[in-house]
Amino acid sequence: MTVTLITGANRGIGFETARQLLALGHTVYIGARDAERGEKAAAELGARFVQLDVTDDASVGQALETIGRTEGALDVLINNAGVMATGVPDGPSALRSFDTNAVGIVRVTEAALPWLRRSANPMVVNITSSMGSFWAATTPERPEFHITSGPLYAASKSAATMLTVQYAKAHPGIKFNALEPGYTATDMTAEMEGGRPVEESAAVVVRMATLDVDGPTGTYSDENGVLPW
């Protein structure tokens, strides 16, 4: 049985990814910072729930301890929780963006490492964004070039992608890959136009979360393949 933890899975891409991985037979833990929202989501899907706020060391430590002690190992970690700050950047909004989108990955990954090491095919998928690609942000033909409303989001996702590279090099026995899931209609993008159905983007996440043991590590990609950094 493959044991999978998805952070921020009570709604959006994380929730749908949980649904699709459950259908593939994974034991899925929905990590959610709010117990009521998380329990409701888990009950709806037939998943398990752990309280997990990626900005809170104690909450993260306890969540991974609960999963590890219950299951004996963690096979797949999907660092999906994220926030997008809009408006004029300031200190508090910058701290919140980086705390959730980048430092959160460090907290959860570090707490998960002992349990990932007990898996026969451990992998971590970091849901970053093409908004954090220096190439996309400096290429006028790319939509990311023209989006200037989320500098903190973009910069914190660049950090998340770099963390993926560094973790992949530091832990060759565990696959770490950064993924742009695709522009999706969720609460995060509700004030923007368009966005595809969550099912399509979750399928991209599922593909990266179900790699063979000899699958790639240290990559940055979207559904079309490698994304330039």
> What does the block give as tokens for 110?
């570090």
CA distance 151 to 184: 19
Write down the least CB distance from residue 225 to ligand NAP, Å: 16
CA distance 148 to 161: 19
Query: At 138, which amino acid appears?
Result: T
Write down the least CB distance from residue 75 to ligand NAP, Å: 20
Write down the least CB distance from residue 114 to ligand NAP, Å: 21
> What does the block give as tokens for 26?
């994974």
H-type alpha helices, the chain: 12-23, 35-45, 57-71, 91-98, 104-116, 134-137, 143-146, 151-170, 198-208
State yes or no: is 221 an active-site residue. Answer: no
Considering only residues 7 through 26, tell me which ones interact with ligand NAP, judged by CB under 6 A: 7-8, 10-14
- Name the residue nearer to ligand NAP (CB basis): 83 or 137: 83
If binding is defined by CB under 6 A, does position 50 make contact with ligand NAP?
Answer: no
State yes or no: is 157 an active-site residue. Answer: yes
User: Site mask, ligand NAP, residues 59-98, x = CB under 6 A?
Assistant: ---------------------xxxx---------------
Which residue among 2, 109, 184, 210 contacts ligand NAP (CB under 6 A)? 184
Report residue 159 CA to chain centroid gap: 13
- Name the residue nearer to ligand NAP (CB basis): 11 or 171: 11
Catalytic annotation, pick one of 59, 119, 157, 201: 157
Catalytic annotation, pick one of 59, 119, 129, 156: 129
Which residue among 34, 44, 57, 90 contacts ligand NAP (CB under 6 A)? 34
Q: What is the DSSP string of 18-80?
A: HHHHHHTT-EEEEEESSHHHHHHHHHHHT-EEEE--TT-HHHHHHHHHHHHHHHS---EEEE-
Residue 15 has, within 13 A of its CA and on its CB side, a CA count of: 17
The residues assigned a catalytic role are 129, 157
| Binding interface with ligand NAP (CB under 6 A) | 7-8, 10-14, 32-34, 37, 52-55, 80-83, 100, 127, 129, 180-181, 183-184, 186-189, 195
